[in-house]
Structure 1
Amino acid sequence: MSQTPDQTQNEPLSDDALRQLNAKVTEVFRSLAIDKRRLPASQLNKRGIPAYVAEWVLESVVPGQGELTQDETTKVLDWAARVIPGPSEQHIIKHKLAQGQTVKVLTPLQAEIQLKKGKEPQRLAQLRLLGISDAYISDALLEEQPDLLRQGMWGVVELGALKDGVAILSFKPMQASVNLPLFKEARRKFTLYEWRAILLTTLGFDPSAFSDEQQTWLLCRLLPLVQKNMHMLELAPKGTGKSFTYENISPKVRLVSGGNISRAVLFVNNANGTWGLLARFKVVVLDEIQTSKFTNPEEIVGGLKGYLANGKLTAGGLHESASDCGFVMLANITLDDQQRPVKASLVEELPEFLRETAFLDRIKALLPGWELPKLSSKLLVGTASPLTVGLKSDFFGDALIALRDDLSSEAYADQAVRLGGEKPYRRNEESVRAIAAGLMKIQFPHGEVANQDFYKYCLRPAIQLRQGIWDELYALDGEYRQYESKITQAKK
């Protein structure tokens, strides 16, 4: 792997440099770039669809660059009124179907096969936004779009009524074309500061509103996408946008907000053998973990401990499978007037069963969300932002997930990361290497990184993220005090 120094600047980019970067991003990425001001101007985000879907709609209905014109905005709103159903329109759509009309809607579509003894197999589709769980779907469509049987897909569905139900007549999926070599080659055309600014703009943030360290913490939220089995905990006060990135990045990321969480939801439903979220998605995020209700928490934590340790999903000995899904927990914590955590133990406000050290030890990273400002319009891409052009969300999310199978960064980290101390704790070393490799994929996907940049932007934050977990373990359980309290890089 090359160690050619990145064209790193000594200072963050000025607003003028960020403005000039708009043209460069458009030139390098062409149709894969989009002006991030187009989305809020379209008001599609108010229709309850994630950014990766809304940007696909914009490209389909009003393709182009720059801010939306009034005519384009009107065209998008008219299209949305016809095709994106609101919560109160379920019965109107069903009424149209009952009258023999065909209906087109933009919605997530999930399919399953039901096999019952003595009966023909049933191919059923679920459209949860419409309250339909048993629509007929053809073999041909399932063959063409196998992801419908995995985590499901967003797209425009054409529905028609049959005598005994509803049928999927056609489906136009929302699809990104992933070209990982193009993504890597494009990285070579930008300095590290430029690339970090592009990534943040792609996520919808104004990079000029954040410090260098805050930018790093925002980028760390992408780690579970680029690294298999990257398990993280983020603690922060309310309103810092912990879930903002995850709900807008990819259809292969599933955000679960509060409510009841059962073993069947996460692992497998023993009653029908249906695999749960950890088997079907690349990243599963539990939001508001401090208020979530777990059915049989000891059983869930027992299953999670095994999964977090070895990537195996089991359920009562009846089912077993492997998964590379990342598991992320987001929780609110209380801060003092200096914006520092009130409690000496950061996990004190979490449910008791999540404070077990054997469970915490399997979490690779603790992201200090309290270091980030509360989310506001001033922090997001807007009319006053100097850099407004980023990558289309659907392409970006798929590119990040494609980097999971590029193991060159792991090879680099294995050689570069050696923890200090007489006997480094094995899980600390494994976690730091995995985090550092992930940060390298995010910031240096082309594989070219200078030693000093790897240390500053990959290894040092990796140690900080694992140190957060280690501090809790060290305070909660004397077993860990046989090791050094501080995680350090070994001196060469």
Structure 2
Amino acid sequence: MTALDDKINERFPGLVVRKDLVKAVKGNAIVPSYVLEFLLGQYCATNDEASIQSGIETVKEILRKHYVHRNEAGLIRSNIREKGRWKVIDKISVDLNTDKDAYEATFSNLGIKNVIIDSGTVKAHPKLLVSGVWCIADVEYEHSEDKNVSPWVLSSIKPIQLSKFDYDAYLEARRGFTTDEWIDLLFQTVGFDPEMFGRRSKLLQLMRLVPFVERNYNLIELGPKGTGKSHIFSEFSPHGILISGGEVTVPKLFVNNSSGKIGLVGYWDVAAFDEFAGRQKRVDKALVDIMKNYMANKSFSRGVETLGAEASMVFVGNTKHTVPYMLKHTDLFEELPEKYYDSAFIDRLHTYVPGWEIDVIRGEMFASGYGFVVDYLAEILRHMRNDDYSNRYQGLFSLSSDISTRDRDGVNKTFSGMMKLLFPSDNATETEVEEMLHLAMEGRKRVKDQLLRIDSTYPETDFSFTARDGRKIIATTLEEAEYPQYYHKRAARLEEPETSVKPASDAAGMPAAEVKAKPMDPREGHRVFSENQKGVTFADLFWPWIEGATKIVVTDPYIRMFHQVRNVMEFIEMIAVRKAPEDEITVHLITCADETYPEKQQSNLAAVETAGAAAGIKFTWEFDATNTIHARHIVSDTGWKISLDRGLDIFQKFEMNDAFSLANRLQIYRQVKAFEVTYLRAAAN
């Protein structure tokens, strides 16, 4: 139990659950997380360990007795027949039998159909008519001599959804959390450990929730496999549906003209297309045309009649190439199916979440702390779809007049959604409002910048906003900062021949990936690096300023834990492969003693000393006697001082035990934390 877990339980009693319990009860039940958490919320919404263990056993017993596994459906049907009545947990869908003028239910796992259900129940739960709803239902068996009468009778049904909540209490409880605490609470709710991610990575993943809280919001996320892109849309909310394969028909999604039956957009808050990418996918052009109209106008046509709907559209898919490859040769939408690779469709997207910034999900990333019972949060988010927070930056910031109406709409809807998620009680500071506005502008700018590469008719846009003190903030994307040589291309220039520059290998034989084609000249200045940025190495940051040194002093109070000492080892390694073999260099570390594990700290530093000696590097260290130093810098006898706000600890967590991970072996493939470096002339020693 962390301090945050205690606060979560105190502020939201009975509405939160420990997130690792889902795995504990799931077993081999193929059931969404929100179904399991609905049950856990009834029996385990507490921080009392004895009650939790008792509740787990109760939930397991309920699942054992009532959840229908497909391979045990025959046994359950037999139980119903023998006992006359049985409670089941199953996905139930309903259709209208016009011959009988009656609604009939189909149980997905139980394998029974034509079960009569009264019209009042269907009217109360219309989603039963589209794709089905997970329910707890009482099923009876009454044999009839009439073969046209089904023996199955549905006596009661309860969709697995929260029945009521207190929104004002939610807002009041939110005020008791700091912004960082609230972000971590939401992050734990979706199932991830906040300690394993930086702030930007958390915000990017929480952007996946915006379609649940904003009506008619269009989001796309493309990136590598295994980053959890579809998890939220399949497991998180009973109000969203994940359409597997990304292929769907016009009647299923919008309307069946022959029957008049409304499709998915009429019943669900979010319709997400999984595995949407794939250049060769067969797509109905009529679907694309209706989709474009719906995404722009929130309406679609049924013959002569025009219908409106509120479902947000989400498109998630995998990319085959790296970001620099796409920027150099094509664009960031290259994986869209051919008929969707259309500027009119792309222009209707409100934001593009950069899936390549989100790390591949590993086992240790899952949460073990407390988060909302997801069904509770899902109902809160649905309630907030009625609100509009898009004006919350007005009075503090104004958007550039260069931004078009469609661009402004994309920025406003993303901003509104993020504000609802993080600041529902309207308690954001000016700095926090600026952060959300920049994130919203960045997401829309990513869409627009790629449109410039696809369609020459689109004008360049100044994505900036101005603070009330006159300060101008220019929104940039991270890939724009990382790959400026490829990023800014217009459609007319894509046909021009490329000139390639081969990265050189340095005299010490460093891999080309670790060496800049043009090393930076040592000069005074200041450099700022963004969270999640890649391509940053110690060699790029330090070597031009310490090359030729015989003595280097590193001052960093936080060289205590294993990964921090490893950073020192990589600093030594960087010097070892670049200095001349006959040169000897002294590297002295000033740090603070680890009061918890001092022996381990000393042992690790001694190992660095031994390793450095083999390369002619004399590594020594001392502990600050007062244990109060805070400054972090590197000073060398070349006359330079490098000031570091994070010291050597610039990299985000990565899998250190994976010998086959490039991030483990090469710094250039790691994501960094946000940090700054200042280079100053210092008196030579």
Contact 1:420 1:489 in 2 (8 A): yes
Mark the runs of 5 or more structure 1 residues left unpaired by the alignment.
1-17, 383-387
The 5 Å alignment of 1:408-419 reads: 409-413=389-393, 418-419=398-399
The answer to whether the Cα contact below 8 Å between 2:283 and 2:339 also exists between their aligned partners in 1 is no
**Counterpart of 2:227?**
240
Give the match's secondary structure for 1:264: helix
Residue 126 (1) aligns with residue 106 (2)? yes
Alignment of 1:20-31 (within 5 A): 20-31=3-14
Alpha-carbon distance, 1:61 to partner: 5.0
> 2:445 maps to which residue?
467
**Residues 356 and 148 of structure 1: is their aligned pair in 2 closer, same or farther, counting only changes over 3 Å?**
same
CA distance in 1: counterparts of 2:325 and 2:38, whole angstroms:
38
Matched residue pairs, number? 460
What's the counterpart of residue 12 of structure 1? none
How far off is 1:344 after superposition? 3.6
Q: Cα–Cα, structure 1 residues 302 and 339, in superposed 2: closer, same or farther, change >3 Å? A: closer
Which of 65, 71, 75 pairs up with 2:47? 65
Change (3 A) 1:59 1:426: closer
Q: How many Å separate the matches in 2 of 1:74 and 1:204?
A: 22
Find the counterpart in structure 1 of residue 460 from structure 2: 483
Q: 2-side partners of 1:414 and 1:127: how far apart?
A: 51
Q: Does the C-alpha gap of structure 1 residues 238 and 100 become closer, same or farther in structure 2, counting only changes over 3 Å?
A: same
2:70 is aligned with 1:92: no
TM-score for both structures, normalised by structure 2: 0.63
The answer to whether the 8 A contact 1:113-1:124 is kept is yes
- How far off its partner does 1:155 sit? 2.2
Aligned equivalent of 2:276 = 289
TM-superposed CA distance for 1:33, in Å, is: 1.6
In structure 2, runs of 5+ residues without a counterpart are 471-685
Give 1:399's match in structure 2, choosing from 369, 380, 401. 380
Question: Counterparts of 2:281 and 2:5 in 1: how far apart (Å)?
Answer: 46
In 1, Cα distance between equivalents of 2:324 and 2:457: 33
Q: Using CA pairs under 8 Å that are at least 6 residues apart, name the structure with larger relative contact order, 1 or 2.
A: 1
| Cα distance in 2 between the residues matched to 1:309 and 1:143 | 30
Question: Which of 228, 247, 255 in structure 1 is aligned with 2:242?
Answer: 255
TM-score by length of 1: 0.86
Task: Give 1:205 deviation, angstroms.
Answer: 0.7
| Pair 1:130–1:141, CA change in 2 (3 A) | same
User: Which residue number corresponds to residue 56 of structure 1?
Assistant: 38
User: Secondary structure at the residue paired with 1:288?
Assistant: coil
Instruction: Name the counterpart of 2:94.
Output: 111
Q: Is the 8 A contact 2:278 2:335 kept in 1?
A: no
State the distance in 2 between where 1:49 and 1:445 align. Answer: 31
Alignment-derived partner of residue 453 in structure 1: 432
Deviation at 1:112, TM superposition (A): 4.2
Correspondence for 1:430 among 409, 426, 449: 409
Q: CA deviation at 1:381?
A: 0.9
Please say if residues 260 and 293 of structure 1, whose CA atoms lie closer than 8 Å, have aligned partners that are also in contact. no
Instruction: Name the residue aligned to 1:8.
Output: none
Q: 3-state SS of the aligned residue for 1:405?
A: coil
CA contact (8 A) 2:215 2:312 kept: yes
- SS of aligned partner of 2:391: helix
Listed one character per residue, the Cα deviations across residues 145-177 of structure 1 (whole Å, up to 9, x for unaligned) are 555457754321111234321221112332322
**Against the structure 1 CA distance between its residues 233 and 343, is the aligned structure 2 distance closer, same or farther, given a 3 Å change threshold?**
farther
Residue aligning to 1:379: 365
User: SS at 1:233's partner residue?
Assistant: strand
Q: Does 1:158 align with 2:150?
A: no
Partner of 2:22: 39
Does the C-alpha gap of structure 1 residues 143 and 253 become closer, same or farther in structure 2, counting only changes over 3 Å?
closer
TM-fit CA distance, 1:369 = 0.9
Paired AA for residue 334 in structure 1: K
String of CA shifts for 1:426-468, please: whole Å, max 9, x gaps: 2111110111111111110001222211011x10110111111
1:178 is displaced (CA, Å) by: 2.4
Partners of 2:449 and 2:417 in 1: how far apart? 22
- Secondary structure at the residue paired with 1:31? coil
Q: Which moved more, 1:332-341 or 1:180-189?
A: 332-341
Aligned partners of 1:157 and 1:168 also within 8 Å: yes
CA distance in 1, matches of 2:114, 2:304: 27
Aligned to 2:332: 346
Contact 2:323 2:332 in 1 (8 A): no
**Equivalent AA in structure 1 for residue 457 of structure 2:** E
Offset of residue 290 of structure 1: 1.9
More helix per residue: 1
User: Using the alignment, how far apart are the partners of 1:341 and 1:140 within structure 2?
Assistant: 55
AA at the equivalent of 1:33: V
Instruction: State the identity as a percent.
Output: 27
Separation in structure 1 between the aligned mates of residue 400 and residue 80 of structure 2, nearest angstrom: 67
Say which SS state the counterpart of residue 363 (structure 1) adopts: coil
Provide the C-alpha distance between the structure 2 equivalents of 1:35 and 1:284, rounded to a whole number of angstroms.
28
Q: 1:66 to 1:344 in 2, by over 3 A?
A: farther
Matched, 1:420 2:408: no
| Corresponding residue of 1:14 | none
Query: Which among 418, 421, 446 is matched to residue 439 of structure 1?
Result: 418
Paired AA for residue 389 in structure 1: Y
CA distance in structure 2 between the aligned counterparts of 1:294 and 1:168, rounded to whole angstroms = 41
CA distance in 2 between partners of 1:292 and 1:95 (Å): 48
Which whole-Å CA distance do the structure 2 matches of 1:38 and 1:483 have between them?
50
Bigger-Rg structure (1/2): 2
For residue 53 of structure 1, what is the amino acid of its counterpart? V
**TM superposition shift of 1:297:** 1.7
> What CA distance in whole angstroms lies between the structure 1 residues aligned with 2:30 and 2:329?
36
- DSSP 3-state at the match of 1:218: helix
SS of 2:61's partner is helix
Give the SS at the match of 1:130.
coil
SS in 1 for 2:457: helix
- Given that 2:13 and 2:46 are in contact with CA atoms closer than 8 Å, whether structure 1 keeps it comes out as no
Of residues 291, 297, 309 in structure 2, which corresponds to 1:323? 309
Q: Name the SS of the counterpart of 2:399 in structure 1.
A: coil
